[in-house]
Structure 1
Amino acid sequence: MLDADPAHAIVYDSFGNIIPLGSLISQVILMFAVTRFGFAVFVMLVGQVLFGQTMFGRRAWSDDAAHTARHDRAITIATELLQSQKDSPTASALTRLGDALLRSGRCQEAVKNFETAIQLSPQSEPYLWQHGIALFFVGRYDDARELFEKHRLVNPHDVENAAWHFLCVAKAQDVDRARKILLPAPGDARIPMEEVLKRLPGGGFDEIRSAVAKTEGTRDHASAAFYGDFYIGLIADAEGNREIAKTHLEKAAATDFTHYMADVARVYANHLQ
């Protein structure tokens, strides 16, 4: 759930994405990773070390057809990997397919894969924040809430986790209850996460917008603007203000980013249609 978290980038954000390293070498690495499943993670790590990448995020796609093609490719690769394991599927392969399915909007199928992965590797459950997101989209709000509570035990500083927990409690019960049991998430330095956390108990969105505006002209602005729109939309949805939610999630969905949460934004925007 963290845009610049190397742990999440290593596991999730290379598969099915273009590696934007700006060189012919990057294309060779991508082709090798696609055709050599056993070395995919290794190649990605080498790319990160050589080129200073902690997040494979920006892209050249600009339309729905391109996003669909990207997701279809990721699903095909993940499916072929899982099929190659025959009767001994691994939790990591199931999670990889679940990721690809969730990012394409096929949330019921994603949940099935995540649940099977957890059956094979119960200790992985607290780390599978994306399972909580998939559970939200299929309307299993209490199950999603429990997942985000477990995730906090292994990632206690993630404001995004607190926001998704808030959303799920609001949907399962009501927003007043959600505000009474907010998850703490101190020390998330990403802009505008501090302001997002402060907004969960109530109020307006000016502080979030102001934090984003202060990044104008800096390398942080595109990311800050994306997450500002995303979480204004999420909070508005939790509070029952569907029009504000749709407006801001559609803006987030229009981002040039192709990382995990950018794809989730597109799924969320479609979910509100």
Structure 2
Amino acid sequence: MNLNNSLNNSLHKELERYNELVSTHPDNPGAYVQRGMVKFKLAQVNESIADFDAAEKLKPSITPYLWQRGLSYYYANRFAEGASQFEIDLTVNSQDVEETVWRYLCVARLQGSDEARKSLLSVKNDPRLVMRKVYELYGGNCSTEDVLKIGNPFDKRSKFYSHLYVGLYFEASDRTEEAQSYITKAVDSYRIDDYMWYLARVHKIVRSWDKK
């Protein structure tokens, strides 16, 4: 059994468990969030959004914490809603580079990377060195090579994040070949047990890169 089949089988079993949990606890917003995350990992993007929406309906105060929905919006090509979600997220998590970078990515798809850079929101104290360098890249203050140099001396997690966000940066600039190269390497060479690794895998699926 190859890796993709093994992962999908495991995720489908996890989905069955959350289907049962939602069935027995239909008023539990957390159950919908967790099921939505599994659906996203399976590249069921629109279905994941429906679950995140259901969680929000049950508990409106959860809205600033639905960063997962912002990611799903991006892959559903709902970029304005994605940008709005990340702006809301930053009101409770103002030091997370990823929130503002994903807002950048949504804005770039709507208005271009130059406008996205001009409206990049301020983040100063993300504890992750590689993400601080990613922020500099998206702000136009360093090169992709600088980001990759930061990632390389560290562990697999840093290597994954540097390659993922360099790839996304290239995609925002319509440099598809470079985007595919770096995101594919992030998935294939630097697998980690992290939601963002699954996101990179979903990226490949949505872009049909595995079929090329």
Superposition TM-score tier, normalisation by shorter sequence:
over 0.9
Distance 1:62 1:224, change over 3 A: farther
The structure whose RCO (Cα within 8 Å, separation 6+) is larger is: 1
Q: 2-side partners of 1:146 and 1:258: how far apart?
A: 28
Q: Residue 172 of structure 2 aligns with which residue?
A: 238
Distance in 2 between residues matched to 1:62 and 1:179, nearest whole Å: 40
Find the counterpart in structure 2 of residue 55 from structure 1.
Answer: none
Q: Equivalent residues in 2 for 1:1-273 (5 A)?
A: 63-85=3-25, 88-202=26-140, 204-215=143-154, 221-254=155-188, 255-273=190-208
Query: Larger radius of gyration, structure 1 or 2?
Result: 1
Secondary structure of 1:154's counterpart equals: coil
Question: Structure 2 stretches of 5 or more lacking a match?
Answer: none
How many residues align? The count is 206
Shift of 1:204: 2.6
Q: Aligned to 2:159, what secondary structure does the other structure show?
A: helix
Amino acid paired to 1:158:
D
Residues 56-88 of structure 1 deviation map (CA, whole Å, 9 limit, x = unaligned) = xxxxx9711111112111111111100112xx4
Q: 1:101 Cα deviation (Å)?
A: 0.4
Whether the 8 Å CA contact 2:160–2:191 is kept in 1: the answer is: no
TM-score in terms of structure 1 length: 0.72
Structure 1 runs not aligned, ≥5 long: 1-60, 216-220
In the aligned structure 2, how far is the partner of 1:252 from the partner of 1:211?
A: 15
**Shift in Å at residue 163 of structure 1?**
1.1
Tell me the C-alpha RMSD between the 2 structures.
1.5
| Letter aligned with residue 91 of structure 2 | L
Give the C-alpha shift of residue 241 in structure 1: 0.8
One-letter amino acid matched to 1:94: Y
